[in-house]
Structure 1
Amino acid sequence: MDLTLGVYAFKGLALATELEVFTELAGGKGVTLDAFARRHGIHERPAELLLTALVSLDLLVLDDEGFYRNSAVSEEFLVKGKPRYFGGWVTLVDKHEYPAYIKMLDSLRGNHPTTWDVENQKSLFQPDDRVVKEHFWDAMHSLSAYTAGRLAESIDFSGIKRLLDVGGGGAAYDIELCRRHPHLKTTVFDLPFVCELTRPRVEAAGLADRIDFASGDFFEVGGVPGGYDAILLSNILHDWGIEDARKILRACAEALPSGGVLLVTESFVDDDKRGPAPAALMSLNMLVETWGRNYTAAEYGEWAAEFGLKPEGVVPFEGQGANGVWVARKP
């Protein structure tokens, strides 16, 4: 029953995010049931059902005077414009992934994604896919901003002066890493249209002098540029099947100089494939999203050694959409 209630909880959160409930209540503002119903042009019954659900989930607080206010977690993560705004990810799951789960049996039996048209699209990451273009990279920023901070605290970046963020659209990792490590300069490497979508975010962060862009395709021969002390792959490899994931890993290994470090942040499935649940469930999500899955540290270690890298294992941390960083160096 707890698992089935998750559907109701998520849709309540998604509906409130779409209505911008938490943004309207930012800064300690409160609203009564009657005022909320009038503001959104809905009847009192559905308004009360939604608000009560949000209170039960600790997303809103109901005070003794009958005013609904943001909880601490909503104030930090669900208010538009806040540094750790998570609503982009909520919107992507609601608009892009949730409808695909209705067709999940098709994915299971056909071994193909259902969030995009596999017959007519080259991949999920197409500029002409309106939902993806409007929501995907905002969602990636939402998912990555907090996790980037955990990465910044987990790895010694003192010896890294230049970092290449492969598939770094959204620049969440670049922004957070540069803020925490003033000596660091990074480059976002992604498809041309993704770089253009990301550039305003970097400029708004005031980091255009330390974060630059290199457009390209990591599947092209020599596509990944060299000359960097470190290469970061943040939640990239799980989007691809084994053959393609290995190609990306090989390209990064070849681009690294001697002494260079490869950093892979992912939700790693345990080597014995018994969990953990967040990594296993996100891996299941790839059934409807991509041709990939969440891989194990042992799999990465085996591939990296084949490509001339020396694996150092996983440094664990608790992030959103990632549970650690796998590290390898080039001798």
Structure 2
Amino acid sequence: MTIELVEESSTLTPAPLLELTTGFWRFKTLAAAVELGLFATLSRRGTADTAEIAADLGLLPRPVRGLLSSCVALGLLDRRDGRYRNSELAERFLVPGRPHYFGGFVEYSDKHAYPAWHRLQEALRDDRPTTWDSGAQATPFVTTDPAILAGFWEAMFTISAFTADALADAYDFTAHTRLLDVGGGTGPFPVGLCRRYPHLRATVLDLPHITRMTRQRMVDLGMSDVVAAHDGDFLADPELPAGHDVILLSMILHDWGPDTGRELLAKCHAALPPGGAVIICELVLDDDESGPAPAALMGLNMLVETRAGFNYTYAEYRDWLLGAGFVDVRSVPLAAAGANAAIVARRP
């Protein structure tokens, strides 16, 4: 018997596969630290040693040592002279009560999305979401813990607020006066855009249980006279509210199938005056579907989370927009966690 030796590249190793395989280690470390209250504890104390942290969190020496060293390695904690403090990243985004608290999304992902991703193969075989029973429920939020949902909405505000800043830098809203944010949640885009462009006024269109939160948010921010909320269902309502010269669809179209996307863009076209613009903010997939990774993976997340959603390519969005009657379609690159592009088109 002869064994054939295959010459292999001396530089190729399984290290990238190891990093992919153990990626959940990082997430679960973060999720555990958030749930245990590590960052809240250190924010309150300022600095603490291992024994103090262990006492506060109710942990034994070996587990707390592993948690702390891992959090330092991940850039979540700083360690100096045997004492720990929150890194700038953790202090800003992982301490409850801070304006841009992100821990709610960590908890939502850990309790809601992470278990569903364990069933990804099932979603791939059946083409049905695994985060909720789409045969028995109207929406995925029926059985989701309201407290976890509240944290999710807070984190979505943070992600979208930073994406809004990126959009304000990349696209000039000077020519527009009235913005309609379709499915705008608690209003992060209108808040950011109206602050950057003081002449701009905005309306958030969303379901009544969302707009109640929107109105309260605007009161809290002192922007009730700038950003209004309109109760509605952009899927079921025959038309969108009129009187706006720019319509924003941010992280909306990826929740639905192509037919729904085309129908919604047709409603946008009908609601806009001549010269009005529609803006689609999304993690847009490359036309050859080779990436970028966040957009591609979001497509799989839509498989797990929705009945028909997906992350689409620029070519697909362009085709939908032209089919709805829009012209001058262009893509504006964005550098943001929530979107890598704003696709802009005009009603002739």
Q: Which residue of 2 aligns with 1:306?
A: 323
Name the CA shift for 1:27/1:173 in 2 (closer, same or farther; >3 Å): farther
Q: Which residue of 2 aligns with 1:264?
A: 280
SS in 2 for 1:116: coil
Q: Distance in 1 between matches of 2:263 and 2:151?
A: 27
Q: Which residue of 2 aligns with 1:130?
A: 145
Q: Which residue of 2 aligns with 1:62?
A: 79
Once structures 1 and 2 are overlaid, which stretch shifts more, 2-11 or 80-89?
80-89
* Aligned match for 2:337, one of 302, 320, 324: 320
Name the CA shift for 1:27/1:145 in 2 (closer, same or farther; >3 Å): farther
Q: Distance in 2 between matches of 1:209 and 1:327?
A: 27
Number of aligned residue pairs: give it: 329
Q: Is the 8 A contact 1:148 1:173 kept in 2?
A: yes
Q: Is the 8 A contact 2:123 2:304 kept in 1?
A: yes
Question: Any idea what the Cα deviations from partners look like across 1:33-58, whole Å, max 9, x if unmatched?
Answer: 11111111121221111111100001
Q: Distance in 1 between matches of 2:94 and 2:149?
A: 21
SS in 2 for 1:212: strand
Q: Distance in 2 between matches of 1:188 and 1:162?
A: 11
Question: Any idea what the Cα deviations from partners look like across 1:142-199, whole Å, max 9, x if unmatched?
Answer: 3212111111111101111110110001211122112222111111100011111232
Please state how far the C-alpha of 1:222 moved relative to its aligned partner.
2.7
Q: Which residue of 2 aligns with 1:104?
A: 120
Name the CA shift for 1:288/1:159 in 2 (closer, same or farther; >3 Å): same
* Aligned match for 1:14, one of 20, 31, 45: 31
TM-score by length of 2: 0.90
Q: Which residue of 1 aligns with 2:12?
A: none
SS in 2 for 1:92: helix
Percent identical pairs in the alignment equals: 46
SS in 1 for 2:269: helix
Q: Is the 8 A contact 2:103 2:151 kept in 1?
A: no
Bigger Cα Rg: 2
* Aligned match for 2:177, one of 138, 161, 170: 161
Name the CA shift for 1:282/1:192 in 2 (closer, same or farther; >3 Å): same
Q: Matches of residues 119-198 of structure 1 in structure 2 within 5 Å?
A: 119-124=135-140, 126=141, 129-131=144-146, 133-198=149-214
Question: Any idea what the Cα deviations from partners look like across 1:99-118, whole Å, max 9, x if unmatched?
Answer: 10111121111101011111
Please state how far the C-alpha of 1:133 moved relative to its aligned partner.
3.8
Q: Distance in 2 between matches of 1:155 and 1:27?
A: 40
* Aligned match for 2:301, one of 285, 307, 322: 285
* Aligned match for 1:228, one of 244, 249, 265: 244
* Aligned match for 1:254, one of 265, 270, 275: 270
Q: Which runs of 5+ in 2 are unaligned?
A: 1-17
Please state how far the C-alpha of 1:221 moved relative to its aligned partner.
4.1
Once structures 1 and 2 are overlaid, which stretch shifts more, 21-30 or 110-119?
21-30
One-letter amino acid of the structure 2 residue matched with residue 71 of structure 1: S
* Residue 106 of structure 2 is aligned to residue 90 of structure 1: yes
Q: Which residue of 2 aligns with 1:239?
A: 255
Q: Is the 8 A contact 1:268 1:279 kept in 2?
A: yes
Q: Distance in 2 between matches of 1:74 and 1:28?
A: 14
Please state how far the C-alpha of 1:27 moved relative to its aligned partner.
7.9
Q: Distance in 2 between matches of 1:191 and 1:127?
A: 14
Please state how far the C-alpha of 1:28 moved relative to its aligned partner.
8.2
Please state how far the C-alpha of 1:21 moved relative to its aligned partner.
2.3
* Residue 347 of structure 2 is aligned to residue 330 of structure 1: yes
CA root-mean-square deviation: 1.7
Q: Distance in 1 between matches of 2:151 and 2:46?
A: 28
Q: Distance in 1 between matches of 2:222 and 2:96?
A: 19
